[in-house]
Structure 1
Amino acid sequence: MFAQLLETLQIQTSVASAFLIFMLPLCAIVAYSDLRGMRIPNWTVDLTGAIYIIVGLFVMPSWPDYGWQLLHLPVGLLIGFLLYAGGAVGAGDAKFVAAAAPFVDYGDLALILLIFCANLLAGFTTHRVAKYTALHKMAPDWKSWHVGAKFPMGFCLGTTLVIYLALGAFYGT
């Protein structure tokens, strides 16, 4: 199934490559900040949206594509707000998902959900293994070790976007 989704990847390689250059370091900061302090800084969310708005003007294949994908932001914000209100995610997670949503081509929705699910399982398992073994001593001051059942979702959200864009850079249309 994953191979079939890769064959039908809708994002263009040039678009994914351009976005990846800007988003890779920013997603690393999002993941690290959430692991360290259980917070996704607002400036990273703002910059994520700004990167799409500015870089997208130059790399998106057409104005309608640019506009339709930009519409993903308010839709993502609404869904994120509902999940936050229900206690399913943190506010930073909801805002980051909304800001990152325009980067995902609508035709790749099934693929991004598959990547996120696999990434969430791998990230949660990795975090819990590190938390309950001597590995957590490598970063003993991280808040994510000491918040009970809560999980730093930014770790998986940032890496999901990077994986998607990297796959798009190599396997896109």
Structure 2
Amino acid sequence: MSLSLIIVFIVFPVAMAYAAASDLTTMTIPNWLCLLLLGVFGLGAASTGLGWTAVAWHLLAGLTVLAVCFGMFAAGWIGGGDAKLAAVTALWLGFEQLPPYLFIAAIGGGLLTVAILALRAAPLPAPASNWAWAQRLHDVKQGVPYGIALAAAALIVLPGTAIWRAAIGV
């Protein structure tokens, strides 16, 4: 299996799954994970032969989302991990898949929020009362692990990206 296939079909999806699981269980998305995705994008772009112009547009997509998300973080609307994950994901997806990504993440995040709020309205089941992550998720003072929606949306739109097409030679 080539390096580009490993990066696009294994590393990126596993990183997204880890981000979602980490946000669910700890309400954080590790900085190292976002840095890993940043570095691996460079390897993926180089190994797939993504041209300099395409890479520049992907960088601009990531920086644009970072700027918007930094403002949202500063306003207290989203967490810092969510902002970084959205930005590095936009780097991978580029402008071409950014609108569907943001739409799917917004819908998925809205559904996730409604589900968590509904679960918080009910008592925490006895078996889950000893799980720190379940207590944190059930706490009405906590936010919503939006990284789950961001990661799921990324995996849904990934097959439409330039880096995916380049990895499979289309």
How many residue pairs get matched?
A: 158
Q: Distance in 1 between matches of 2:128 and 2:86?
A: 29
Q: Distance in 1 between matches of 2:123 and 2:12?
A: 31
Match of 1:37 among 26, 51, 62: 26
Between stretches 134-143 and 78-87, larger displacement belongs to 134-143
- Higher relative contact order, chain-length normalized (CA < 8 Å, sep 6+): 1
Q: CA RMSD in A?
A: 2.9
2:158 aligned with 1:165, yes or no?
yes
2:79 aligned with 1:90, yes or no?
yes
CA contact (8 A) 2:31 2:81 kept: yes
2:62 aligned with 1:73, yes or no?
yes
| Match of residue 144 from structure 1 | 137
Structure 1: runs of 5 or more not aligned? 1-14
TM-score of the pair, normalised by structure 1: 0.75
| Match of residue 114 from structure 1 | 103
Query: Could you tell me how far 1:96 is from its partner in structure 2?
Result: 1.2
CA contact (8 A) 2:62 2:89 kept: yes
Between stretches 69-78 and 92-101, larger displacement belongs to 69-78
Q: Distance in 1 between matches of 2:108 and 2:49?
A: 27
Deviations 1:34-84 (A, max 9, x none): 111111111111111112111111225422101211222222221111111
CA contact (8 A) 2:7 2:40 kept: no
CA contact (8 A) 2:120 2:138 kept: yes
Runs of 4+ more than 6 Å apart:
none
Q: Distance in 2 between matches of 1:65 and 1:166?
A: 17
Q: Distance in 2 between matches of 1:25 and 1:44?
A: 11
CA contact (8 A) 2:86 2:150 kept: yes
Q: Which has the larger radius of gyration?
A: 2
Percentage of identical aligned residues: 24
CA contact (8 A) 1:76 1:101 kept: yes
Deviations 1:65-123 (A, max 9, x none): 01211222222221111111111111111111111111123123332222112211332
Structure 2: runs of 5 or more not aligned? none
